[in-house]
Structure 1
Amino acid sequence: MKIYKSYNSNKRKCKGLKSDTILIIYRYTALKTLMIIKIKIYTITTFLMLTIFAFGQTKDAEIKSFLDNLKPSDFSGAILVAHNDKVIEKRAFGLANIEYGIQNKVDTKFNIASITKMITAVATLQLYENGKVELKKPIGTYLPDYPNKLVRDSVTIHQLLTHTSGNNNNLDFWKTNNLKYKNVSDFAERFKNDTLLSKPGTKYDYSASGFVILGLIIEKASGHNYYDYVRENIFKIAEMTNTSELDIDAVVQNKASGYTTFLQEDKTPRKNEYYLAKTSPAGFHYSTVEDLFKFSKALRNYQLLGKETTALMFVPKVKGYNTNLGYGIDIDLRYNQTIQGHSGGWYGVRGELMDFMKDNYTVVILSNVDDDGKSGTSKVSNYFKELIAEKQPEK
């Protein structure tokens, strides 16, 4: 419109001038107008970019301030924050061993409890991607000798990955000799003949035992021991050099002891070894905040799975207790942006791996002290969710 008006105005002014002179004037006017438009576009773009940058800088400054003021009495463990896949904060708080006054460090190894389920899910989907398993076939296709006929003939890998298989959450291994669990099959012995909680495929029931069955399938389909498989095909690829399975009586440097207050009336901490077992496909790997960040980054950047399979893993499939679930991953839709990852909780163990999918933040929190849902890891996790994602208003 401005060019048209300039054209008409200059047309009146150019009466009596030579045609080539008039052409030069028209061209000059058009170029001048285009330059003004480009300058305005550049100004607006620059303003928006600076606003976004400043917004990110503000969040980063708030995160730093929060961590600067976080006290060991509020949280014991390690925290890593990354933005656009670059680590911006890495801190440690509290004691790895209360008896000897040993401090937690940023590279301390913590028990990650159920965060292990994400690892098992990736291993399963790698086999699916390579044509070694199918998601909707009964598990008897891969475990023909599985003793529970209903599970063998009805339950699928899809159901195991989404906690809809009806299998229970059998974790009371401490009631026997928890030192005897060395292989995946040892864990499966605990529940192989149990009745199901619900008909397969009809209901969400969080199931650790379902992920143990996935471990059996991984071993059968790959021809490798579960622990060896994830070490070679996940930890090695993602360069997770500080992640491994451990026997509960293993002596390892720079490993945090776990402390629980749940079973004490006076809430004094007690060590949690009695309630632990060796890693199973359902939980209890030991890892560091840095290694779990590497895992997250490798997964999101298609180093562990192809683009289509990664997308399949991330698609919400069922509604859980609080979040939706993809395949072995929580998809939290309660906020103004999607938060993906997994939590881990047990006696003396708390952990969170969170990817904020819009603003490209990753937050890893690992703690060796359990909490009441308001302090410790829960307090720290809720802070990051509210700051970065902002909770949606109640409907």
Structure 2
Amino acid sequence: MSADGLSCHRRAVLAAGLAASLPVPAWAGAAATGLAGLADHAEQLVREQDYSGVLLIAEAGKVRLGRAWGLRQRAEGLPNRIDTRFNIASIGKMFTTAAILRLAEAGRLQLDAPLAAAWPDGPAGDLAHRISVAQLLSHTAGIGNALWALPPAQWEHVRRQTDLYRMIAKAPPDGAPGERVSYSNDGFVALGALIEHLTGEDYATHITRTLLTPLGMTSTAFGGAGDLQPNQALPYVRDLDRPGAWRTALAGNTAPACAAGGGTSSAPDLLRFGPAWLSGRLVGPAMMQAWRSPAKPFRDGEYARGLQVQRMNGDVIEGHTGGHHGAAAELMIWPQHDRVAVLLHNGEVEPYWDLAHRVRTSFSGLYPAEQDFRHTQRVAALVAASGPEAGLAAHAAAPGRRLRASLIEALGNRAWHRGQGDAARHLLQFNVALDPKSPDARWHLAELHRRSGDRNAALAAYRAYLDLVPGDADALIALERLGVRS
């Protein structure tokens, strides 16, 4: 296979096969009897947790479940559709990985060689001699996330990955190369810049020409946060200063789509990509093996090279997650069962977490992370009703289970948004009780006290936060607004 992608013949065959196996009308109501419970659970999440998105599942090339819920644009009342475009965030890392592995397959680079071997005069300087392309793919190069720390105005309109990379190539390292998995968007920006250097094309053009167009992924696009596509779902978050109201999160999604993610795509498009990846049509066997290994521990599973891996009850689930303000996405692939699932969401993250867990357990059975998630939900319900002490006792009675602080925080904010002030306060106080040294827990409790008008409690909570994060500008501004000068 050439570095440029599929041959003309294979492009034509692939396009014809996809058109035959994925007829658009079938998505509207296809649901196998065995998946009815999964669809019912999604309906429950719509009613109870504000779920808004798409779930599409196929096995052996046949759509088994395809449904859309919620609104893609709330103000206009426009509903999500199966083919609605969503922000897919870090799922785009799989596109970048495909391009890099094709270049390796064509002999344009070596995965385990230093970055400098493929780009001798690149902007990374001496660092390029100490990190490899494989380490960039596996988040083990010791590179952090400096780009996201820059003022958005400095880079939100930049499109070429080379220009983005020059802004952060000399940033301080996050660790020693090869030491550990440390998730790095900067590392994938570096890979995007390498693609531009080796091909002479900008990243978006190269990925579109060599990957998206041959696969018929016509709804997948790259652009900035303000570059809205037709039929695109806007990202939404709860407006906690106006309980009951929602606001678009476009202001929090200023990053341009890049080699680290942030493009838009649809469930049908990702259902084209998943089977192509699964069948080895993107790269040959040797590069597929390189894509999948070596996998190292990461979050609740493992990370290989541009690929997340979960192993549960004898099953392997491969793919990638993605998330940003008001958007969440996941591509799941079961190699043993020729199954692909796509989840896309344009709201707060907790209903996406819930549905993603339910999809996995529906096919692969219970696993520890899902059990911890359900345990957290049960404890949180008790805390909301009866207070933190009840939750601490319930958790102590379940040895071996972990609580997810991020879920408790989200449930506390949701309770406040729904006018359940006591429940919100109980939940956010519970998070502080679980980890008094957590800046996030302290901050969200302080914000709740401010919103509820409890000035003294807010002052105490902001000061407790500043003890953990001295000099934090946002906290100092909050104190000034409460009449306290630093």
TM-score (norm 2): 0.65
Q: Distance in 1 between matches of 2:106 and 2:333?
A: 26
- The aligned residue for residue 91 of structure 1 is 67
**Cα deviation per residue 1:3-37 (whole Å; 9 max; x = unaligned)?**
xxxxxxxxxxxxxxxxxxxxxxxxxxxxxxxxxxx
Instruction: State the one-letter code of the partner of 1:304.
Output: L
Check conservation: 1:258, 1:369, Cα contact below 8 A. Answer: yes
Paired residues for 1:107-186 under 5 Å: 107-170=83-146, 171-173=148-150, 175-177=152-154, 179-186=156-163
Select between 336-345 and 353-362 the one with higher mean Cα deviation: 353-362
Q: Distance in 2 between matches of 1:110 and 1:74?
A: 17
Q: Secondary structure at the match of 1:253?
A: coil
Check conservation: 2:38, 2:358, Cα contact below 8 A. Answer: no
Deviation at 1:228, TM superposition (A): 1.2
- The aligned residue for residue 379 of structure 1 is 354
Q: Distance in 2 between matches of 1:345 and 1:337?
A: 24
How many residue pairs get aligned? The number is 337
**Cα deviation per residue 1:111-153 (whole Å; 9 max; x = unaligned)?**
1001010110111001111111100111112222333334211
Deviation at 1:66, TM superposition (A): 3.7
Q: Secondary structure at the match of 1:75?
A: coil
Root-mean-square deviation over aligned CA pairs: 2.4
- The aligned residue for residue 313 of structure 1 is 291
- The aligned residue for residue 323 of structure 2 is 345
2:203 is aligned, of 226, 250, 253, to 226
Q: Which has the larger radius of gyration?
A: 1
Paired residues for 1:9-48 under 5 Å: none
Q: Distance in 1 between matches of 2:313 and 2:50?
A: 25
- CA gap of 1:95–1:391, structure 2 versus 1, over 3 A, is same
Residue 250 in structure 1 maps to residue 227 in structure 2: yes
Check conservation: 1:300, 1:310, Cα contact below 8 A. Answer: no
Deviation at 1:304, TM superposition (A): 1.1
Q: Secondary structure at the match of 2:167?
A: coil
- CA gap of 1:118–1:273, structure 2 versus 1, over 3 A, is same
Check conservation: 2:100, 2:195, Cα contact below 8 A. Answer: yes
Check conservation: 2:157, 2:224, Cα contact below 8 A. Answer: no
Residue 273 in structure 1 maps to residue 250 in structure 2: yes
1:197 is aligned, of 174, 190, 200, to 174
Check conservation: 2:110, 2:133, Cα contact below 8 A. Answer: yes
Select between 150-159 and 177-186 the one with higher mean Cα deviation: 177-186
Q: Secondary structure at the match of 2:57?
A: strand
Deviation at 1:93, TM superposition (A): 0.7
Q: Secondary structure at the match of 2:102?
A: helix
Check conservation: 2:278, 2:333, Cα contact below 8 A. Answer: no
- The aligned residue for residue 37 of structure 2 is 62
Higher relative contact order (CA 8 A, sep 6+): 1
Check conservation: 1:316, 1:324, Cα contact below 8 A. Answer: no
Instruction: State the one-letter code of the partner of 1:136.
Output: D
Check conservation: 1:336, 1:391, Cα contact below 8 A. Answer: no
- CA gap of 1:316–1:337, structure 2 versus 1, over 3 A, is farther
Residue 363 in structure 1 maps to residue 363 in structure 2: no
Q: Distance in 1 between matches of 2:334 and 2:34?
A: 13
Check conservation: 1:121, 1:327, Cα contact below 8 A. Answer: yes
Check conservation: 2:91, 2:322, Cα contact below 8 A. Answer: yes
- Aligned-pair identity in percent equals 27
TM-score (norm 1): 0.79
Check conservation: 2:45, 2:351, Cα contact below 8 A. Answer: no
Q: Structure 2: 5+ residue runs without aligned partners?
A: 1-30, 372-399, 401-486
Instruction: State the one-letter code of the partner of 2:38.
Output: I
- The aligned residue for residue 103 of structure 1 is 79
Q: Structure 1: 5+ residue runs without aligned partners?
A: 1-55
Q: Distance in 2 between matches of 1:270 and 1:189?
A: 34
Instruction: State the one-letter code of the partner of 1:278.
Output: P
Q: Distance in 2 between matches of 1:69 and 1:121?
A: 36
Deviation at 1:265, TM superposition (A): 8.7
Q: Distance in 2 between matches of 1:98 and 1:57?
A: 30
